[in-house]
Structure 1
């Protein structure tokens, strides 16, 4: 087999895959610089930052209404933060429990990951019908929040399960052999070591909740989250202001990734964990 030819073929395939993956984003970015009279098509007319200014309310009223970003954005960020906290805590606790064998571990495992396997539309519709049956008002901070946790919790659990599977128990045993309680050992020894995994679980939970549409559609009630508000805006006609908002949202996502990378670099660069004045190899 010609290895150089194979490497070139795999390199070409990787390039085509990246182009397919990021091509729509490149097109979206270009169209976001469309002029005031332009639309979602090429060629660009009078390119500029008009639609970014329109999105931020820095231009005069035009033929296009502004995106309902304000309240819906706050609700989405709040919902994503709430979901991240609860799903990550549940994921860490569940993965910690699965470190030891217990009766019913198999059914419990599949019951946990069921939340990520069931179609979101069916779960959302089921929650809406169940809420109506019990007379519970559907709200983004209530019924939608429950479904977001059910959806993101399995991802956090699987991430932490992989982290704990590579965890060296001798570190904890060394700590407890010195008379330290299990709770203190987890706080001072275990948690600093698994913290990069906790960051990964948090990132998964936040992004999945922030972008979730199907499970929120039937359960958010009258107060819409950002994906629902955007869908209601461009369901009739698409304007370049949605492209500008997409670019800003992508920049926000990249900012989260940069912060995540910096935190990961900081904590993974530590080769030792200090415990009561002594160093235990991590």
Structure 2
């Protein structure tokens, strides 16, 4: 018969602090969820006035001059592009750093340094670089006499140019750190066995390395998308003449005074949860597949 271990005196104070911390983190999110389902007479604070999907319908109709659907599409497109680039570059860099590289340590510290740089400084710097690039492009077009192209040229700042680069300065370091940790534990004996069986380097990567690191690769993709999905500071000065959904949401907080702003917050959060759910499901499926192959 086991004797139940007595909890120390410090347990309850620490449990209270932890509970307050969880409430501080997630309480506002749940408040927004609840208030977004108010009736037509609902306001921005409690008490709730009815319960309905009224403000989600209003959100679908649009919030003033802001095209929420277009902003949502831009954020999704940018998030997917960031996800793909983060996965590709992180895996390639992880493979490259498995061997000793000349200047590898310097390159690593340069990449990781972007994590500690103020986001707004990164955004301003990238925006300035692309404006200087605009000047160079216009000068070259004028020198070449390409007037029609010059008149149609606006700016190189854009969703998949400067904004993509700004987001990668935030997501790539996380992807690299994950890949370095994965390959630090990865045994090269699997690849050696594949080579002994006649596999080419590409076949060894495709059939041996990639299946083993697949769950981590999926995790990097989730990091890339979710970090890009709600990024504001690094996007603000580097996106050009369009806005992503977080930037539109930031602007709407000063002009929209109805629960429709809460409905928008609920929708964006649900999208994040869907992405995380799909990622976890994919990781689970990959794990089962790997166990199945190991059993055979």
TM tier relative to shorter chain: 0.7 to 0.9
> What does 1:28-107 correspond to in 2, within 5 Å?
28-57=32-61, 65=64, 68-107=67-106
Deviation readout 1:180-223 (Å, 9 max, x if unpaired): 11121001100011000000000000011111111111111112
Alignment check: 8 A CA contact 1:67 1:230 kept: no
User: Unaligned 5+ residue runs, structure 1?
Assistant: none
The residue number in structure 2 matching 1:15 is 19
| Residues 1:225 and 2:244 are matched in the alignment | yes
Q: Distance in 2 between matches of 1:47 and 1:267?
A: 41
Aligned residues: 272
Distance 2:201 2:278 in 1: 31
What do you get for the CA RMSD once the two structures are aligned? 2.4
Match of 2:41, SS state, is coil
Whole-angstrom CA distance in 1 between matches of 2:50 and 2:286: 48
Q: Deviations over 1:32-56 (max 9, x none)?
A: 1233233211212233221112112
> What is the rounded CA distance, in whole Å, between the counterparts of 1:159 and 1:43 in structure 2?
45
CA offsets per residue over residues 138-180 of structure 1, 9 Å max, x none? Answer: 2122111111122211111111111111212211111112221
C-alpha distance in structure 2 between counterparts of 1:167 and 1:15, whole Å: 38
Match of 1:118 in 2: 117
Aligned position for 1:148: 167
Task: Provide the rounded CA distance (Å) in 2 between the counterparts of 1:146 and 1:213.
Answer: 14
- In the alignment, structure 2 segments of 5+ residues that lack a partner are 1-5, 135-154
Q: 1:167 matched to which residue of 2?
A: 186
What is the distance in 1 between the residues matched to 2:282 and 2:30?
28
Which sits farther off after the overlay, 224-233 or 188-197?
A: 224-233
TM-score w.r.t. structure 1 length? Answer: 0.88
Partners of 2:108 and 2:90 in 1: CA distance: 12
